[in-house]
Amino acid sequence: MQRKNSEKAIEGNRDCDMTEKEFHKLKRQDILRLLLAQVKEAEELRSRLSETEGRLIVAEEGYERLKGRLDDKDTQINRLKERLDSKDAQINKLKGRLDNKDEQIQNMKIALDKLREEKMNAAIQPGSIAQASLELSGIFEAAQRAADLYLEKIKGMSEEASEAGE
């Protein structure tokens, strides 16, 4: 019966249901068993605590590595955002230049259309054909005079050469 009481005391101590009166009734051997059980339980708890602390250290190291990698990624993201902002500014600048060039092209097309229209109007006017004809005849007359002079010089040189050869 004493053994049952000591086992009950050991189990009871785990549950903390043992009263002080029951504890005083235990023999020295039962108290030693009770202390031995408590020492084993304390060792088991220390071992579990040590394992848990080890896992906690590993988890904290993993957290720090992950935090460092995330910080690096944030830095990369910020650099990429800055580059994108720079590229957007360049795109907007180029769009402005393109719009300016499109406007210049449009103005040149309008000016070209006006010149074509003026040229067509000038060609249709009645006096323009007669005037062009007069200008052409003047050009032909000047060309004919130049050709006649040239021929006269050649004939003169030819006669001099034949006289010198006789």
Closest CA to 37 of 11, 19, 17, 15: 11
Across the chain, what does the average pLDDT equal?
84
- The Cα 49–Cα 140 span in angstroms is 119
Tens-place pLDDT, residues 97-110: 999 988 999 989 89
Tens-place pLDDT, residues 120-160: 776 666 566 677 777 778 888 888 888 888 888 888 887 77
The angle, 0 to 180 degrees and rounded to 10, between the axes of the packed helices 2-15 and 28-124 is 30
Phi-psi region of 82 (alpha: psi -120 to 50; beta: other; left: phi over 0): alpha
Residue 117, pLDDT score: 85
